[in-house]
Amino acid sequence: MITSQQLTYVAISVFCVLKASSLDTFIAAVYEHAVILPNATLTPVFREEALVLMNRNLDLLEGAITSAAKQGAHIIVTPEDGIYGWNFNRESIYPYLEYVPDPQVNWVPCNHPNRFGHTPLQGRLSCLAKENSIYIVANVGNKKPCNASDPRCPSDGRYQYNTDVVFDSQGKLVARYHKQNLFLGEDQFNVPKEPEVVTFSTPFGRFGMFTCFDILFHDPAVTLVTDFHVDTILFPTAWMNVLPHLSAIEFHSAWAMGMGVNFLASNIHHPPKKMTGSGIYAPDSPRAFHYDMKTEEGKLLLSQLDSHPYHPIVNWTSYASGIEAFSMGNQEFKGIVFSDEFTFLKLRGVTGNYTVCQNDLCCHLSYKMSEKRSDEVYALGAFDGLHTVEGRYHLQICTLLKCKTKNLHTCGDSVETASTRFEMFSLSGTFGTQYVFPEVLLSEIQLAPGQFRVSRDGRLFSLKPPSGPVLTVTLFGRLYEKDPASNISSDLMAQALSECS
């Protein structure tokens, strides 16, 4: 975990020239991109062939960028892997890489395309930003040469990074971020020597960025908010949805609310891999979101946001620690959620008050259904422990969820539809962390903007009957200080990869 006192991070702060008068609001855009994938081969292609594919994807991104600019957008975010796709090894990704310099070099690639070698991708992105007077956030591959004087230099003499870049409305490269927490299968890339905390300032607020899997860890995600006080997070991602708690729109909107920042999430659109779900999220409510497993088309979203959003401080354990547990007898049962063993209680009436505990976490639920259906089962669950599937991180979770069938063994399985409507709910827990992300997900994977709130004493409660049947109501807590030193061990990675193959 990065702390400012330890000074173990590399802080990269880039400041744009501010206009005389700053903006109180701005228009944000994100594009969910149906990426054109390369042919499935681990044999490197010629650079010319790689450029043809990348330009085909850039043609689609250009359409979204110009459309966003015409609608008044100040900034647009495009997805991780959106220019060249995935399924690479270290050698086969190489023709798709360019050298991305430190933004301090003061470079407008559109004006000086060959200053840092052959960089046509950055040149095209820079010109798109300049010609449309819009900030562009894109994900590219960066190659950085090294030699034997560097003890960590790879044997092929170069570092390769999963990299986010930002070009301002004049086409200038103003930010570069190397992904810290690589996901399973990203062996084509290196982890930076030190975690990077990247920020830049604009007339419409201060921005930070990180990529996909980074969101589940403290550094750099939390550090950007707590130590660098950014207003808005830029989030290119290639997110594969995992229900019940880690679908893209569900978790990303919850992170925005829990951390008190705007959050611009741009996902790949590729339903065969369960990749969909982009959004523009404010701390108080989602402003625009898109989830589509049925079509093959991309989607442009736009919405207005406050440049400097307000977010009240929440004491996540205040209410729950001050009430007595509701006695449920010996009715608890175990269930598996994303390989984690939860302790559950079945909801037995149309209305009720329930408490379920696991280790140091007790979860309290009050609810009222419109009717108690005989064909659907709901349960209240608690988990307090180390998650060990695609990464190793400590969770505390309180969740109300629909079970897949009437069989209690299916509580925690992925489920996308429900019929039970709730008149009200109130969920709280005795969390040992200030980092809790409130989720409400409705049937057909829909959010519930403006229909719930978090109180200062840590209750997630409905403001009115939700607009659709409920899939989950969840408080997703992270205890970063209990995380192991390494995100994922080699044996766990091998196991997870074997399960995916």
Q: Any catalytic annotation for residue 16?
A: no
CB atoms within 10 A of CB 20: 5
Q: Of 16, 110, 127, 212, which is the active-site residue?
A: 212
CA distance 241 to 158: 33
Q: Of 32, 98, 110, 179, which is the active-site residue?
A: 179
The answer, yes or no, to whether the previous bond of 244 is cis (omega within 30 of 0) is yes
Q: Do 145 and 168 meet the contact criterion of CB atoms below 8 Å apart?
A: no
CA distance 304 to 488: 38
Per-residue tokens: 163: 């990299």
Q: Any catalytic annotation for residue 212?
A: yes
CA distance 319 to 297: 45
**Starting at the edge strand that comes first in sequence, how are the strands of the sheet with 361-369 ordered?**
351-358, 361-369, 422-429, 460-462, 452-454
Q: What is the DSSP string of 224-255?
A: HHHTT--SEEEEEE-PBPBTTTB-HHHHHHHH
Q: What is the DSSP string of 169-230?
A: TTS-EEEEEE-SSPPTT-TTSPPPSS-EEEEEEETTEEEEE--GGGGGSIIIIIHHHHTT--
Q: At which residue do the structure tokens 């990529």 appear? A: 211
For residue 422, give the nearest of 376, 364, 453, 464 by alpha carbon.
464
Helix H or strand E encompassing 123: helix 120-132
Per-residue tokens: 242: 């995992």
Q: Of 16, 32, 80, 439, which is the active-site residue?
A: 80
Active site residues: 80, 179, 212
